């Protein structure tokens, strides 16, 4: 029983964390692209 709870807890916690990491990377890359585009436009 505790094992099941633990696995459930881990799966519920791990997913948002990894999702946040992916989101951060995506946002930073988008920001870099935007900066680059702004510079090239000007």
Among the residues of 1-42, which ranges form H helices? Answer: 2-41
Q: Domain locations in the chain?
A: 1-42
Q: State residue 4's pLDDT score.
A: 59
Q: How far is CA 30 from the centre of its chain?
A: 13
pLDDT tens-digit map of 14-37: 566 777 888 899 999 888 887 776
Distance CA 15, CA 20 (A): 9
Distances in whole angstroms, Cα of residue 36 to Cα of each of 4, 24, 28, 31, 32: 48, 18, 12, 8, 6
DSSP state of 42: -
Judged against a pLDDT cut of 80, whether residue 6 lies above it is answered with no
């Amino acid at each position: 029983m505790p094992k099941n709870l633990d696995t459930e807890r881990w799966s519920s916690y791990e997913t948002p964390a990894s999702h946040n990491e992916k989101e951060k990377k995506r946002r930073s890359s988008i920001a870099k692209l935007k900066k680059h585009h702004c510079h090239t436009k000007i």
